[in-house]
Chain A
Amino acid sequence: MQSSLGYKIAGLLFGAGFGFVLAAAKLHEYEVIHAMLRLEEAYTFLLMAGAIGVSMPLLWLLDRAKVTTLLGGRIALSRSKVTKANLVGGALFGAGWAVSGTCPGPAVVMLSSGAGLAVLTVLGLFLGLTLRDRQVARAGGSATIGDGEQRTASTGS
């Protein structure tokens, strides 16, 4: 479904902002991610805590104040119950993340910073995601859309 122009522009700009910060924090560097996962450097854990520490209370306040968003109507938070897929999928994701040393956002920054083998990382991500979508579609279901992904019910998207 086609999104409105406003959504596309906002998506492009916020994507660029997101990528800029990832690069400024060097989260696209294998060494930075592995220094975190080897528990040798607190930097990335603190960064994530800083991101959540700012966004969690602000979203809570905005939700309580029933704020109307610019393009998407009244602000709505998603708070789904835990399913087995969250845990099994999370475990697979964690193993793949450790091996490839990057996750979906930083992977494309890795690529645009000149890392040649990141072509395979991005290709693998597309393969894995599509594989799962095909498998779910064959079983007659639809993909798990987590609380951090787009809500298609929202207006304009």
Chain B
Amino acid sequence: VQIELDEFSDGRWPWWIAGPALGLLVVGFFLVSNQPLGASGAYAETAKVLTGRKDAVSWRVWYLVGIPVGGFLGVTVVGDGFEARTGYEPLVEAWNSNWVVGAVVLVGATVMGYGARMAGGCTSGHGICGTAQRSPASLAATGTFMAVAIATTFLLGLAGVK
């Protein structure tokens, strides 16, 4: 009950709306394009375009452009609106320096990107789209990154991150 009250008081869509909505987008994109919607692959194709390679799958770039556009609309229509901030307030509070937090975030994101490319997908690719296809590889990758992320967060808690 507490969780549901929180959801409505902080303006989030309840999980039973947002979750099925994501699920329907995945199914809808299969019906249109016969393709799954992993985000990390879209980064990889966009990186190819940015480095001048000719073999990029170009619709993926349009997909990656769509996400922040839709996100901005979502923040404006449903959320608290565009707000200039670091985005990492709990880390800044724990370590008291934007530079330290920036460096840690950059390293963390680099490891995340490397891992996603090695695993062949991320939370959207393996976690939702692959799992929805009942893919053994996606289920294994999802179970692994969930478990390691929970363990790493526990360790960060020991390092004073709230």
B57-80 with Cβ < 8 A to chain A? 57-75, 77-79
Contact-residue bracket for chain A:
35 or more
Main secondary structure of the interface of A (DSSP, over half): helix
Per-residue CB contact flags for chain A residues 67-90 toward chain B (1 = under 8 Å, else 0) read 101111111111111110111111
The answer to whether A129 and B35 touch across the interface, beta carbons within 8 angstroms, is no
User: Do B16 and A98 touch across chains, with their CB atoms under 8 A apart?
Assistant: no
Q: What is the size, in residues, of chain B's interface with A at 8 Å between Cβ atoms?
A: 129
Are A19's CB and B66's CB within 8 A?
yes
CB contact between B29 and one of A14, A48, A82 (< 8 Å): that residue: A14
Q: Is the CB of B41 within 8 A of A121?
A: no
CB-contacts of B22-45 with A (<8 A)? 22-45
A151 at the A/B interface (Cβ < 8 Å)?
A: yes
| A:9-40 near B, CB below 8 Å | 9-26, 28, 30-32, 34, 37-39
Contact assessment for B29 and A10 in the assembled complex, using a CB-CB cutoff below 8 Å: yes
Best-surrounded residue of B16, B83, B102, B123 (most CB of chain A within 10 A): B123
Docked-complex contact A81 and B136, CB < 8 angstroms: yes
Find out whether the CB atom of B18 lies under 8 angstroms from the CB atom of A47.
Answer: yes
Q: How far is the CB of B1 from chain A (nearest CB, A)?
A: 12
Q: Mark B91-116, 1 if CB is under 8 A from A, else 0.
A: 10000001001101111111111111
Q: Give residues in B with beta carbon < 8 Å to A.
A: 3, 6-7, 10-13, 15-16, 18-47, 50-51, 55-75, 77-79, 82-91, 98, 101-102, 104-138, 140-150, 152-154, 156-157
